[in-house]
Structure 1
Amino acid sequence: MKKLLFIEANTTGTGMMAIQKAHSLNVFPVFITRDPSIYKGLEEQECELMICDTNHYEEILAAIKDAFHSGEIGGITTTSEFYIHTVARLTSALGLTGNPPEAVAAARNKFAVREKLKQSKTLYQPFYAGVKNEEDLVKKRHEFPTPCIVKPVDDSGSNGVKVCHDFSDLLNHSHRLLKVKLNTRNQPVVNMVLVEEYVEGQEYSVECFSFNGKHTLIGITKKQVGSDPFRVEQGHLFPADDLSSDVHDCLEEGALEILHTLGWLTGPSHIEVKVAEGRLFLVEFNGRLAGGMIPELIRLSKGIDLLQEQIKASLGIHPELHHPSGCYAGIQFIVPGTSGVVTEINPIKDQHVKGIKKTRLNVQIGDEVEAARNAYGRIGHTIAVGKDAKQVWSVLQETSKQVKIEEKEYSR
């Protein structure tokens, strides 16, 4: 039996699900990590565990070559965005299915993505600048539009992304970001922040899947985001219910152009976008499955298990991606708007009648919570399905009120 190698995983549980799904494809999973203690449930999985420093490519390549003979490895994959470049380098070195390392390196750097797309005549071209120090910011202060978006070039989960409304805010936030030297996985970060024009409008994400250079549109997600300055995502609806045929075509064609320009060949992509002046404006390109439970919404709506298809693609097996949408599926997150103490939780009633498929709450009465600055600050969610998009939205809004968490200011 061939082996499927997983290089680390995200920490929300998807990685453990992927290990389980590998068995159904007649391959034996091998989980390679530098620290198994960060993965809840890993000890319960039927898999081979390898421990090595996954943040050093040469070390992990040597460990794999020592442990497995030629032809024993069926594929290599990951559910963590922080390791997709490592996976690309490994598959390239070992002659396995994957993306070109140079394409993934660019995709993991938001400034590099802007540079690669700047010649496009069909995409909206925003103002942007890569800044490596505060001196550059001060010299170019009159060039920056306000408001603007300031973000690290290689983080994930909207971490560090902020809308800045004046130069002082821009300077202070850039200073904080440039002081960061290691990400949450203890990897060195690129010493640069991306400053770019803030574009108004409804945000969507285009979910695509590629195999051998052929790109397939899975669908378009409508996103609900919070207020400035951090604009944390509050909820999603799949498929989006408010797209004219012209806008749908604009988003699909623009997303496919981005994939082609970046040289993306294999696996999922999650492309966050808006429409500006009749053209696609790229918010961010992510060379991975969508977060925020969007793959689960797609499974409920279309019956496509994108995690399963990612594993198949990594093994060189043609994915099955063509299923019509059977319903709308949505998610509402519980996002603390202020720091405080949870004082009340009201359970949801009549969940089955309302089309509610799942609820999750990660806090209890008496817990202290912080105002959310990114996706990691969300403390729960509800997923619902239905034939009518407005009904799904209505149910989700209702459940967010029933799962009522009152927060009060407190001093630390």
Structure 2
Amino acid sequence: RANEALGLPGTPAAAVAALMDKAALRARSNALHTVRPVSFVRCGRAALIPFLAALIGFPCVVKPRAGVLGEGVRLLAGPAGAEAAVREYPQVTDLLVEEYLEGPELAVEALSRGGRHRVLGWARRIPGPGAAALTATGHELPVALPAEAAAAVRDLVRGVLDLAGHRDGPSHTELVLTPYGPRLIEAHAHPGAEELLALLRLGHGTDVLALALAAGLGLPEPVRHPRAAHAGLRYVDFPPGT
């Protein structure tokens, strides 16, 4: 909003809000798919989670309509998990229940300028085991995809950013490579976590922040220097007090 008030370039506040509204973004991204859109339903009361989860089918995912960094996102494996979720969201009145997307997961970094979206690269997201599948335990690259699949990933990212009205600056999109093609998890009007950007610098020689700064200031792009054939990271989760 400050950028708009001062007449400075940048992503409109409405685009940021559109990317944060997970229900609206899901509905919009479904319009990009002629085959198998993602099943979802809005939930106005936590008490309705078991009914709506059964309607969508297990496994499914419940999450707040608005949020970032996976806050409040839960994987429901069955009716028992749905009943437990009722107690986890007592004060939340705007939830989203959607089908669980199965397949390899990608984290995609892109840079937009004047409404043109350039996909800079992606890394494979390594999920946790079982009920922790929604929590990343690491990332790695490169991710070799067939030409058709890679084109579909780029098309989905560009389509989602277009629908949200994202015009300038970096973005971070998470998606799943389902048997029916890539499907959106969520997207944000900011770059991924620093460790993910470090992977792109190491593996692709792509400095997302330097590119974004150069684009914003009208400077020449920094030279790309690939430095590693493979790059990866793992997160270690220690018990409290360790």
TM-score by length of 2: 0.87
Match among 77, 84, 106 for residue 165 of structure 1: 77
The alignment status of 1:223 with 2:125, answered yes or no, reads: yes
Match among 12, 27, 42 for residue 130 of structure 1: 42
Contact 1:202 1:223 in 2 (8 A): yes
Higher RCO (C-alpha under 8 Å, 6+ residues apart): 2
Q: Aligned pair in 2 of structure 1 residues 334, 136: CA closer, same or farther (>3 Å)? A: closer
Select between 196-205 and 171-180 the one with higher mean Cα deviation: 171-180
TM-superposed deviation, 1:91: 1.1
Match among 229, 232, 235 for residue 138 of structure 2: 235
Contact 2:20 2:68 in 1 (8 A): no
Identical pairs, percent = 26
**CA distance in 2: counterparts of 1:203 and 1:138, whole angstroms:** 27
TM-superposed deviation, 1:123: 7.2
Deviations 1:298-339 (A, max 9, x none): 1222333222333344x4425727847442221122124xx4
Contact 2:50 2:79 in 1 (8 A): no
Quick one: which amino acid aligns to residue 228 of structure 1?
Answer: G
| Structure 1 counterpart of 2:183 | 281
Instruction: In structure 2, list runs of 5 or more residues that go unmatched.
Output: none
**CA distance in 2: counterparts of 1:201 and 1:139, whole angstroms:** 26
Quick one: which amino acid aligns to residue 333 of structure 1?
Answer: Y
Deviations 1:10-54 (A, max 9, x none): xxxxxxxxxxxxxxxxxxxxxxxxxxxxxxxxxxxxxxxxxxxxx
Contact 1:128 1:197 in 2 (8 A): yes
RMSD: 2.4
| Structure 1 counterpart of 2:107 | 205
**CA distance in 1: counterparts of 2:100 and 2:90, whole angstroms:** 21
Quick one: which amino acid aligns to residue 154 of structure 2?
Answer: E
Deviations 1:149-203 (A, max 9, x none): 11223222222222111234224324423526xxxxxxxxxx4122110121111
The alignment status of 1:317 with 2:218, answered yes or no, reads: yes
SS for the counterpart of 2:25 is: helix
TM-superposed deviation, 1:273: 0.9
| Structure 2 counterpart of 1:42 | none
Instruction: In structure 1, list runs of 5 or more residues that go unmatched.
Output: 1-88, 181-190, 341-367, 370-412
| Structure 1 counterpart of 2:234 | 332
**CA distance in 2: counterparts of 1:257 and 1:122, whole angstroms:** 14
TM-superposed deviation, 1:222: 1.1
Contact 1:207 1:290 in 2 (8 A): yes
Contact 2:50 2:82 in 1 (8 A): no
Contact 2:3 2:10 in 1 (8 A): yes
**CA distance in 1: counterparts of 2:36 and 2:222, whole angstroms:** 29
| Structure 1 counterpart of 2:56 | 144
Within a 5 Å distance, the mapping from 1:20-99 to structure 2 comes to: 89-99=1-11
TM-score by length of 1: 0.53
TM-superposed deviation, 1:148: 0.5
SS for the counterpart of 2:235 is: strand
Quick one: which amino acid aligns to residue 272 of structure 1?
Answer: E
| Structure 2 counterpart of 1:265 | 167
TM-superposed deviation, 1:209: 0.7
SS for the counterpart of 1:158 is: coil
**CA distance in 2: counterparts of 1:102 and 1:261, whole angstroms:** 11
SS for the counterpart of 1:151 is: strand
Contact 2:15 2:164 in 1 (8 A): yes
| Structure 1 counterpart of 2:200 | 298
TM-superposed deviation, 1:128: 0.8
Within a 5 Å distance, the mapping from 1:7-22 to structure 2 comes to: none
Across the two proteins, how many residue pairs are aligned to each other?
Answer: 240
Contact 2:214 2:221 in 1 (8 A): no
Q: Aligned pair in 2 of structure 1 residues 137, 279: CA closer, same or farther (>3 Å)? A: same
Contact 2:53 2:97 in 1 (8 A): no
TM-superposed deviation, 1:221: 0.7
**CA distance in 2: counterparts of 1:198 and 1:138, whole angstroms:** 15
| Structure 1 counterpart of 2:19 | 107
Q: Aligned pair in 2 of structure 1 residues 196, 131: CA closer, same or farther (>3 Å)? A: same
Quick one: which amino acid aligns to residue 282 of structure 1?
Answer: L
| Structure 2 counterpart of 1:121 | 33
**CA distance in 2: counterparts of 1:318 and 1:131, whole angstroms:** 47
| Structure 2 counterpart of 1:396 | none
SS for the counterpart of 1:334 is: coil
Contact 2:49 2:85 in 1 (8 A): no
**CA distance in 2: counterparts of 1:270 and 1:107, whole angstroms:** 10
Deviations 1:73-118 (A, max 9, x none): xxxxxxxxxxxxxxxx221122111112221111012112112223
